[in-house]
Amino acid sequence: MQYPVCYFTYGSSFQTVTVNIASMSEDIQVTKETGIICGLTLLSRTFGFLRDAAMAWFFGAGYVSDVFFVAFRMPNMMRRLFSEGTLNLAFIPVFIDYLLNKGKAEAFLLARSAFSSLFFILTGIVLPGIVFAPVWIRVIAPGFMASPEKLSLAVFLARIMFPFIIFIGLSALTMGILNTMGHFAAPSLGPFAVNISIICSIFFISPNLKQPVTGLAVGVLIGGFLQLFLQLPFLIKKGIRFWQYSQPFHPGLRRVGLLTIPSAIGASVYQLSLIIDTLTASFLHEGAISHLYYADRLVQFPMGIFAIAVAIAALPHLAKAAAMKDYPGLIQSFMFSTKLVIFIIFPAMMGLIILREPIVSLLFHRGEFDLCSVRLTAAALLYYGVGLWAFSGVRITVSTFFAMQDTGTPFRIAIILLIIKSFMALVLVAPFGFRGLALSTSLTSVINLIILLRTIHLKLPGIQWRALANSVVKSLIGTTFMALGVWGAGMFILPDIGSPFLPLFLGVSGCIFIGIVIYMCFSFMLASTELKALLAAIGWKGKHLK
């Protein structure tokens, strides 16, 4: 079935905005845009793992790495909140509403006003953050107070990295503007600059410093600047001159401001859960924070490439449908985005769980990162991994609420969930240690998704849950056979943990390839609509698509 799609095109003079009806189905358009984001995010995440591998090689999973990850926790949380779409959950719906109903000139004035206002707001956050670094380091890692040396180093590193928040916040705003205007490439490549900068700092800055880990902090700061700088030419090309006059108290900013704080909390239960994990893990054995960090990085790989990519691509479509009061279109976009995420995340989750030790060994087992660190990180990965489907589902569901400019519902749910998370962390850390922290994060996300879906059912009663359940069952069947195939193949082609890089690489790659083939075959036999959309998005015109 074909759906009319509204999108914006901008003439070379950037003097008018026209709304066109696309012949392409909404589902295929979202899939194509997701594919662009996925491909470029995959490149960035690949270099992200090269970055983490270099960090593990040089710094291992112990005293120095724990200190760096604590110092980086606050800037990194801001990075995830901003660059992975949370800021844009508040901005994009308002910006699209202005484009549709008030014209390009007023919408661009809003964009310029948002850019300048955000700069001053972030500066106002960064300066106190630097001054009061000793305070918030004690808050998120109270266990460090027992070691003045660790606390002092963490404060020093945090002060270097805190201005990163300014660059990453402005970069996220430019990403939202560019995505709304149909440009996804440059924003998706932005994190690539951060990873390259950190890798270069490890090899070229750290060895020349008395405290080598300082080089990492410098690399983070330079990378944030590059991520913003690379997007500005594309923003200018689209017609937004951010240095021109901007109304300080633009009416649209009031709406964005009212949406921003609840959207940040409502969309970031997982990120705030990691803060709780860090706080609790600071009291555990040395290296616990690092094991959780590296496990989280592996979970972030499929979530960033697929779930967040779908959420970023879907948000403009959801927001446009909501702005035009096109509730059937809004429901259609929500359903397809959810089904597409589940279709991809289920097999990724099972593959990550089954191959967790070989993957951790392949990526991190070198230098200071020994076999014990491999096994402990893989253990944390297991408990984070079981919640991957819920982490991903939450992203799409929350985006739908914010497209309707309803931030209150996710906010209220988030507050309740954070209380539950804190209680679970304290209860589970006793029997499971640091593994219990990861498990509590996964369980919290499952509860979060259940409550959000129940609530969205009341707001959008036209959602076809049976069709959604049918798609989920098909994905589960394919994932089950894929998991059996990967497990069986692993018994024959995977070498022992700790084997040299090449045998491990070939073994893991072989298992992943076998899993993809099995999953695609079963999805084809089950006539998966998500597979059809993926094939149509790349131009495949088989009879089964008709």
Per-residue pLDDT tens, the chain, 546 aa: give them.
333 333 333 333 333 333 333 334 566 666 666 666 767 777 777 787 788 778 878 877 677 888 888 888 777 776 666 655 566 677 888 888 888 888 888 888 888 888 888 898 889 989 998 999 999 888 888 887 888 888 899 999 999 999 998 998 888 888 888 877 777 777 777 778 888 998 999 889 998 988 888 998 999 999 999 988 888 888 888 888 877 777 777 888 877 777 777 766 666 666 677 778 877 887 887 778 888 888 988 988 888 777 777 777 777 778 888 888 888 888 888 888 899 889 989 999 999 999 999 999 988 887 778 888 899 999 999 999 999 999 888 888 888 887 887 878 888 888 888 889 888 988 998 888 889 999 998 999 999 999 999 999 888 888 888 989 999 999 999 999 999 999 999 999 999 888 888 999 999 999 999 999 999 999 999 988 888 777 776 655 544 444
Block residue for tokens 């109270």 = 142
Cα–Cα distance measured from residue 399 to residue 90, given in angstroms and rounded to the nearest whole number: 10
Cα–Cα distance measured from residue 448 to residue 393, given in angstroms and rounded to the nearest whole number: 10
**pLDDT at residue 268 in the model:** 64
Burial-class residue 189 by CB neighbours within 10 Å (0-12, 13-18, 19+): middle
- Number of domains the chain is built from: 1
Helical residues (DSSP H) of 181-212, grouped into ranges: 185-204
Q: How far is CA 420 from CA 2, 389, 423, 432, in A?
A: 43, 19, 5, 17
**pLDDT at residue 267 in the model:** 60
Q: Find the domain containing 275 and state its range.
A: 5-545
**pLDDT at residue 14 in the model:** 34
Which positions ≥6 away from 429 have C-beta within 8 Å?
Answer: 280, 284, 436, 437, 440
**pLDDT at residue 21 in the model:** 35
**pLDDT at residue 111 in the model:** 87
pTM of the model: 0.71
DSSP at 18: E
Beta strand pairing call for 17-22 and 5-10: antiparallel
Tokens found for residue 460: 């959008």
**pLDDT at residue 24 in the model:** 43
Q: How far is CA 520 from CA 31, 385, 531, 532, 540, in A?
A: 17, 22, 8, 11, 15
DSSP at 8: E
8 A C-beta contact, residue 89 and residue 318? no
The residue among 359, 343, 217 whose CA lies nearest residue 297 is 359
Beta bridge partners of 22: 5
Helical residues (DSSP H) of 433-528, grouped into ranges: 434-459, 465-493, 501-525
